[in-house]
Amino acid sequence: MAYNEEFAQSIREVLLEKGADFTEKKMFSGICFLVDDKMCCGTHIDKKTGENMLLCRIGESVYEHALEQPGCIPMEFTGKPMKGFVFVTEEGIRSRQDLEKWMQLCLDFNPLAKKNKK
């Protein structure tokens, strides 16, 4: 699976700084980071553009507002948007502060997220 290791390391560093106990799993053509055994965020490379994107699980309550932010687009794998999940393009994560903001949205939603059945 192709993903940008430097970008994945930046995500790891933010999660560690925020005190999140996380695991990693290869999913969605990248790495997903799980907090409390629930998908929190992940890496993704756009197959058309080669651009790094942050996959964010932010929940439906902030979904519409998030889509108004620069570089935020709906997460679509099957042609249908997945409510509560977004991709943030490089435009939306130009700085460490931008990355931390998006990661905090993911961490804020995590306690409310349902665990997937194993």
For the segment 45-78, what is each residue's pLDDT rounded down to a tens digit? 888 888 999 999 999 999 999 999 999 999 987 7
Domain with residues 5-112, CATH architecture: Alpha-Beta Complex (3.90)
Cβ-count burial 15-28 (b if 16+ within 10 Å, e if not): beeeebebeeeebb
SS3 113: coil
Q: Give the helix/strand (H/E) hosting 100.
A: helix 96-109
Question: If pLDDT is split at 50, 70 and 90, which confidence band does 93 have?
Answer: very high
Domain ranges (residues) in the chain: 5-112
The pTM (predicted TM-score) of the whole model is 0.91
Between CA 45 and CA 88, with CA 85 as vertex, the angle to 5 degrees is 45
Contacts of 83 (CB under 8 A, 6+ apart): 60, 63
